């Protein structure tokens, strides 16, 4: 390796170092630190923090509450991402057509994205209110009767899902729209000449060509959904009776009680859950290719 | 043609439903913020009465601290944006222009980091920040936010820098410019749109962050808008929906306006950040 290249290399590390320093100091070390804490019995107000190995993990894995939170998180991600994909795809297909007011429609679809999660959660909370919420008012006026949204596990679950889908479908829409716009129009023309109908074209041309984008978008959103915290914290607080407590929220609750050992162990388990999906994502995305 | 008609009808219906779905919660937030009594749907005796009182209360009542939260959010998000964008521009330049060992590992590493759940940091981070005495200071949020928004920023800038022809800055290097000069005089001016969309997304991400802000602040000195709104309590125990929605509207309108004016930048940033592999 030549002298200039060596100097260049040193320079490159110099330019990268502020970025890496921030990431290492405020992300990598904290994760390792949390892993370290999870191996201890660490409760606020108890001065000694003895090393207990994997005992916290053993305790968590034996408790129903963790498995329940995991089930809630996974089913939330599954239902939420499925609905988002269907809605996002529909929206993207509409926005991809030459219709009047398309510019305005594209602006409108950005609005839920721009509303902060906490604020949208608060707004949905007031709309779900049993006695003066918008939804129950509508349901009563069409004769379906009011729903105690936060009162039963199933309705609380869907209350969270709907609010989340509203907030995140625009992101999906934008990604899929970008994917649709990358499909060359002559592929459609060829399909039309071959006599393919609207639905056939969608099924045999659009969908296969959109597949790579769909996979990336779905994986990205799944990773995000598995980490869900904000919206549940505000909307239901994890209730009723833990029915909407995600793994992130469960860990947070332990921290709140001052039990850092257990909280950290659940956090690390959350990390591992998301990590397994991340590995899939990096494999699917093949990210270095653009750089080579 | 029958199919064309069917398609048109479906499109129009779809577009109307879509506009309605996207807008109604946003509209409802504004409606509640403008009503004298937020429970007006619940009782035949209470009616919708238009008022600006909620806004007046939120802005002027010192016990609510809303203006302090807003100020904190804007200052922190601005500082984070400036620092994140400059640092990640340097990193993205190095990765896209200079050959060095481990170069291809950097984006993978940073992208991997962006997938970490926030909760997996806070156990240690809370103790660390408490030990430093940073609770209720801007520092407590500034440092984690810069780290937290870095992957997104690096990703967008990297995808843009790699598209810029390398000949441009190599010509500058030939003319005797240093790498730093090549970055500041050639690459950055050409990347203005990407820098802007990165800044916009980082600002919005920092403005909206919730978990760190919830844990690392306990009062108005550093508490941000999302935490303020999530924990908003009425003086009399009942939930002051009018005030909450007024505060929400005040906080949301600037973001929505920003996103709509700079729609193109938002969209290119979001898609560049996500669809690099395609």
Of A90, A114, A223, the CB nearest to B115: A223
Question: Does residue B160 sit within a domain?
Answer: yes
- ipTM attached to this prediction: 0.91
Question: Does residue B11 sit within a domain?
Answer: no
Query: Is residue B133 less than 8 Å (CB to CB) from chain A?
Result: no
- Distance, in Å, from the CA atom of B8 to the CA atom of A66, rounded to the nearest integer, reads 50
Contact call for B150 and A22, based on CB within 8 A? yes
Q: Is B137 a residue whose pLDDT tops 50?
A: yes
State which residue of chain A sits closest to B266, comparing Cα positions.
A110
Contact call for A18 and B90, based on CB within 8 A? yes
Of B42, B100, B252, the CB nearest to A132: B42
Question: Does residue B1 sit within a domain?
Answer: no
**Sign, CA torsion A14/A15/A20/A22:** positive
pLDDT of res. B234? 60
Contact call for A111 and B147, based on CB within 8 A? no
B157 Cα to chain A: minimum distance (Å): 13
Query: In terms of residue numbers, what domain contains B193?
Result: 65-240+247-274
Q: Is A83 a residue whose pLDDT tops 90?
A: yes
Model confidence pLDDT, tens digit, residues A133-182:
999 999 988 988 889 999 999 999 999 999 999 999 999 999 999 999 88
Q: What is the 3-state secondary structure (H, E, C) of chain B?
A: CHHHHHHHHHHHHHHHHHHHHHHHHHHHHHHHHCECCCCCCCCCCCCCCECCHHHHHHHHCCCCCHHHHHHHHHHHHHHHHHHHHHHHHHHHHHHHHCCCCCCCHHHHHHHHHHCCCCHHHHHHHHHHHHHCCCCCCHHHHHHHHHHHHHHHHHHHHHHHHCCCCHHHHHHHHHCCCCHHHHHHHHHHHHCHHHHHHHHHHHHHHHHHCCHHHHHHCCCCCCCCHHHHHHCCCCCCCCCCHHHHHHHHHHHHHHHHHHHHHCHHHHHHHHHHHHCCCC
Question: Does residue B72 sit within a domain?
Answer: yes
Q: Dig out the tokens for A56 from the structure.
A: 């916290």
Measured between beta carbons, the chain B residues lying within 8 angstroms of A248 are: 117-119
Q: Dig out the tokens for A65 from the structure.
A: 């509450």
pLDDT of res. B179? 83
Question: Does residue B113 sit within a domain?
Answer: yes
pLDDT of res. B82? 97
- What's the mean pLDDT in B40-56? 84
Query: B158: domain CATH number?
Result: 1.10.3720.10
Number of folded domains that form chain B: 1
Contact call for A27 and B116, based on CB within 8 A? yes
Question: Does residue B8 sit within a domain?
Answer: no
Measured between beta carbons, the chain B residues lying within 8 angstroms of A228 are: none
Backbone angles phi, psi at A51, to 5 degrees: -70, 130
pLDDT of res. B221? 92
How does residue A292 score in pLDDT terms, banded at 50, 70 and 90? very low
Query: Is residue A141 less than 8 Å (CB to CB) from chain B?
Result: no
Count residue pairs from A and B with Cβ separation < 8 A: 323
B263 Cα to chain A: minimum distance (Å): 7
Closest of A186, A161, A176, A162 to residue A214, by C-alpha: A176
A260 Cα to chain B: minimum distance (Å): 6
- What's the mean pLDDT in A37-59? 90
Query: Is residue A178 less than 8 Å (CB to CB) from chain B?
Result: yes
Query: Is residue B128 less than 8 Å (CB to CB) from chain A?
Result: yes
What are the structural domain ranges in chain A? 32-291
Query: Is residue B119 less than 8 Å (CB to CB) from chain A?
Result: yes
Query: Is residue B152 less than 8 Å (CB to CB) from chain A?
Result: no
CATH architecture of A32-291: Orthogonal Bundle (1.10)
Average pLDDT, chain B: 89
Query: Is residue A139 less than 8 Å (CB to CB) from chain B?
Result: no
- What's the mean pLDDT in A275-283? 75
Query: Is residue B36 less than 8 Å (CB to CB) from chain A?
Result: no
For chain B, how long is the longest CA-to-CA vector? Answer: 80
Task: Give the residue with greater pLDDT, B46 vs A12.
Answer: A12
B203 Cα to chain A: minimum distance (Å): 11
Question: Does residue B24 sit within a domain?
Answer: no
Query: Is residue B27 less than 8 Å (CB to CB) from chain A?
Result: no
Contact call for B40 and A132, based on CB within 8 A? yes
């Amino acid at each position: 390796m030549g002298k200039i290249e060596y100097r260049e290399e040193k320079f490159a590390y110099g330019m990268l170092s502020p970025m890496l320093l921030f990431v290492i100091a405020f992300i990598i070390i904290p994760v390792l630190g949390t892993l370290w804490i999870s191996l201890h019995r660490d409760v606020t107000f108890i001065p000694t923090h003895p090393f207990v190995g994997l005992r916290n993990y053993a305790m968590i894995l034996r408790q129903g509450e963790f498995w329940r939170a995991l089930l809630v998180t996974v089913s939330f991600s599954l239902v939420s991402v499925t609905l988002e994909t269907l809605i996002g795809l529909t929206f993207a297909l509409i926005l991809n057509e030459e219709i009047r007011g398309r510019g305005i429609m594209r602006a409108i679809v950005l609005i839920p994205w721009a509303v902060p999660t906490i604020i949208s959660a608060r707004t949905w909370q007031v709309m779900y209110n049993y006695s003066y919420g918008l939804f129950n008012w509508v349901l009563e006026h069409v004769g379906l009767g009011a729903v105690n949204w936060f009162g039963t596990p199933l309705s609380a679950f869907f209350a969270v899902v709907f609010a989340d889908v509203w907030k995140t479908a625009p992101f999906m829409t934008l990604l899929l729209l970008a994917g649709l716009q990358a499909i060359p129009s002559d592929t459609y023309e060829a399909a039309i000449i071959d006599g393919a109908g609207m639905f056939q074209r969608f099924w045999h041309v659009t969908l296969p060509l959109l597949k790579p984008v769909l996979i990336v978008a779905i994986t990205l959103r799944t990773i995000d959904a598995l980490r869900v915290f904000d919206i549940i914290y505000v909307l239901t607080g994890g209730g009723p009776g833990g029915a909407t407590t995600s793994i992130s929220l469960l860990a947070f609750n332990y921290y709140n009680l001052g039990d850092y050992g257990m909280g950290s162990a659940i956090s690390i388990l959350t990390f591992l859950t998301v990590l397994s999906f991340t590995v899939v994502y990096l494999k699917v995305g093949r990210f270095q290719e653009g750089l080579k | 043609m029958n199919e064309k008609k069917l398609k048109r009808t479906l499109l129009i219906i779809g577009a109307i439903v879509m506009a309605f779905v996207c807008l109604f919660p946003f509209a409802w937030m504004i409606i509640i913020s403008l009503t004298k009594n937020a429970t007006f749907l619940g009782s035949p005796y209470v009616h919708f009465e238009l008022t600006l009182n909620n806004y007046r209360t939120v802005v002027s009542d010192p016990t609510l601290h809303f203006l302090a939260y807003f100020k904190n959010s804007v200052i922190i998000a601005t500082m984070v944006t400036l620092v994140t964008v400059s640092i990640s521009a340097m990193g993205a330049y190095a990765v896209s222009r200079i050959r060095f060992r481990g170069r291809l590992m950097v984006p993978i590493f940073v992208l991997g980091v962006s997938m970490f759940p926030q909760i997996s940091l806070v156990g240690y981070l809370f103790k660390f920040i408490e030990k430093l005495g940073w609770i209720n200071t801007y520092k407590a949020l500034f440092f984690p936010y810069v780290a937290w928004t870095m992957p997104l920023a690096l990703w967008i800038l990297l995808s843009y820098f790699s598209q810029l022809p390398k000949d441009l800055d190599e010509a500058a290097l030939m003319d005797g410019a240093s790498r730093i000069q090549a970055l500041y005089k050639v690459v950055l001016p050409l990347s203005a749109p990407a820098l802007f969309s990165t800044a916009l997304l980082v600002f919005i991400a920092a403005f909206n962050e919730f978990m760190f802000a919830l844990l690392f602040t306990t009062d108005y000195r550093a508490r941000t808008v999302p935490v303020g709104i999530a924990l908003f309590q009425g003086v009399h125990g009942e939930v002051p929906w009018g005030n909450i929605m007024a505060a929400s509207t005040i906080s949301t309108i600037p973001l929505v306006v920003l996103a709509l004016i700079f729609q193109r930048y938002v969209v290119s940033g979001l898609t560049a950040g996500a669809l690099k592999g395609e």
